[in-house]
Amino acid sequence: MENLDEETDKKTTILSDLLVQGSYEELTKIILEMPTVEVCEFLNQQTEEKAFKVLELFPKEQQGTFLSGMDIESQLKLFRILEKPVFAQLFSQMASDARADFYQRLEKKEQGELLPFLQKKIRENVISLSSYPPDTAGGIMSTDFATIYIDMTAEEAMAKIREDAPSKKMIYYIYVVDHLQRMLGIVTIKELIMANPKNKIEDTLQEFFVYSEVDDDRESVALKIEKYSLFAIPVLNPFKQLVGIVNHDDAIEILKAEQTEDMEKFMGIVPSEIGENYLTTSSFQHFKKRVFWIVSLAAIGMLSGIIIHQYQNVLEQYIILAIYMPMMTATGGNSGSQSATLVIRALSLGEISSQDWLKILFKETKISFMISLCVAAVIYAKIYFLSFSATTRNFDLSLIALTISISLALQVMTAALLGAGLPLIVKKFGGDPAVAASPAITTAVDITGLLIYFTIATLLLNI
């Protein structure tokens, strides 16, 4: 990986030097040999003026491909420095889903500045795709696909595909529709090429196919593509008419975005907007994303101080108990976070649902019981055999060891059940299980752990 990164950095340096020197012919030659993603990364690093200078070296279609792959911030900068008729030409060559994503990020005034310079077909396409919520199948779909009619011959179908002119990466699946655009099935380009030109399409039609509806959540669409190993999935409206497709490249991006969002929520951070970058996002924006959970949980955490104050006499009589308080809270936090992570992952992958709560809690009880026995045994042995000091001289070490071990065992089990239960409760009420964030679980576990610790100590030590 390091070698690949070094090679990319070397190319970027060479391209930057050529751009400064005005060696555009050599610059173009190198770029044409590079993967599109690396070219887009190079363009993202340039000023908007230099990026446009590079784009101008290529045909319009290639310009659209590069612009589609650039990050949203770079696209917006280009939009704001270019004359709108010039940008409209670039915009028209972008992939349809990239166009819609960009259009949605524009302010209403900016949308109005761009639309008059678009061809009617492009304008209607952009407005149509932008009308769907961005987190649905309709919001991420592309109109870059080919359709053929069920009553066509293979020869007629090939002619229509050439007329539709989908991009190379979208031509594997050909979608078969009736004259009302209702989807009937799929054929592959290979099947069409191999078929007798006079054969009817219905002879090679695959009638059973996986599809999504326009209102489906984008994550469920991506998971379908992953589950069935599809190059693309058709998106249908309520009338079963084909309105778009979502390809596997988009699925990968969606899953990455969803995983990032879940991770941020799990750590108590307000999720980032699509295209946000850590370094380019202001410190104040980061502050706003993180302050709520930290301050809220700090306030709730004051309960821990109240509990310790209430049991001050216990600590005064058995100072050794204070030594093991950090271990108690840390072990409980780890146990709760483990359970929460596994349950949230299983929920996101569809392996479990909130209806399985009884099975999940029973399973976590068994697992945490076995873990608690191991932890309790280690702590008991450590305290009984190794805790000889002035703080333990007047204590019955076997009773102290038993008290702390039982408390720790109960803490591990309670924390595991809290970690598994909180995401299930959030999911049951229609929320995102990831909001049962790790900091929230840790704070809850700290409070319950101290209650368990001092209650067991009070009972067993007869305080």
pLDDT digits (tens, 9 = 90+) for 403-458: 999 999 999 999 999 989 988 888 888 777 766 666 778 788 888 989 999 999 88
pLDDT digits (tens, 9 = 90+) for 147-188: 999 999 999 999 988 887 677 666 788 999 998 889 999 998
Model confidence at 128, pLDDT cuts 50, 70, 90, reads confident
DSSP labels, 41-107? HHHHTS-HHHHHHHHTTS-HHHHHHHHHHS-HHHHHHHHHHS-HHHHHHHHHTS-HHHHHHHHHHS-
The domain 2-131 having CATH identifier 2.60.40.10: the answer here is no
Fold of the domain spanning 283-460: Tetracycline Repressor; domain 2 (1.10.357)
Sequence ranges of the chain with CATH classification 3.10.580.10: 147-246
- The confidence score (pLDDT) of residue 310 equals 84
- The confidence score (pLDDT) of residue 268 equals 53
270 or 80, greater pLDDT: 80
Integer CA distances (angstroms), 277 to 73, 272, 335, in order = 10, 9, 32
- The confidence score (pLDDT) of residue 323 equals 85
Which residue from 457, 458, 404, 450 is spatially nearest to 303, judged by alpha carbons?
450
Structure tokens that stand for 17 in this block: 């030097």
What is the arrangement of strands in the sheet containing 183-188, beginning at the earlier edge strand?
147-149, 173-177, 183-188
CA gap 416, 456 in Å, rounded: 19
> Which pTM was predicted?
0.60
CA gap 215, 38 in Å, rounded: 34
CA gap 300, 259 in Å, rounded: 28
* Position 433, amino acid: P
Mean pLDDT, the chain, rounded, equals 85
Fold of the domain spanning 147-246: CBS-domain (3.10.580)
From its phi and psi, is residue 234 left (phi > 0), alpha (psi between -120 and 50) or beta? beta
Sequence ranges of the chain with CATH classification 1.25.60.10: 2-131
- The confidence score (pLDDT) of residue 282 equals 73
Query: What phi and psi values does residue 139 have, to the nearest 5 degrees?
Result: -75, -15
Lowest mean pLDDT among 30-39, 259-268, 298-307, 364-373: 259-268
Neighbouring C-alpha atoms within 13 Å toward the C-beta of 145:
26
Structure tokens that stand for 244 in this block: 């778009």
Quick check: 434 and 337 in contact, CB under 8 A? no
To which residue do tokens 């306030």 refer?
A: 299
Q: Work out whether strand 173-177 and strand 183-188 pair parallel, antiparallel, or are unpaired.
A: antiparallel
Which residue from 398, 375, 394, 396 is spatially nearest to 449, judged by alpha carbons?
375
CA gap 300, 226 in Å, rounded: 41
Sequence ranges of the chain with CATH classification 1.10.357.20: 283-460
Model confidence at 240, pLDDT cuts 50, 70, 90, reads very high
What is the percentage of the chain residues whose pLDDT exceeds 70? 88
CA gap 175, 186 in Å, rounded: 5
What is the percentage of the chain residues whose pLDDT exceeds 90? 33
In the predicted structure, residue 292 carries a pLDDT above the cut 80: no
pLDDT digits (tens, 9 = 90+) for 339-371: 988 888 888 777 888 888 899 999 999 999 999
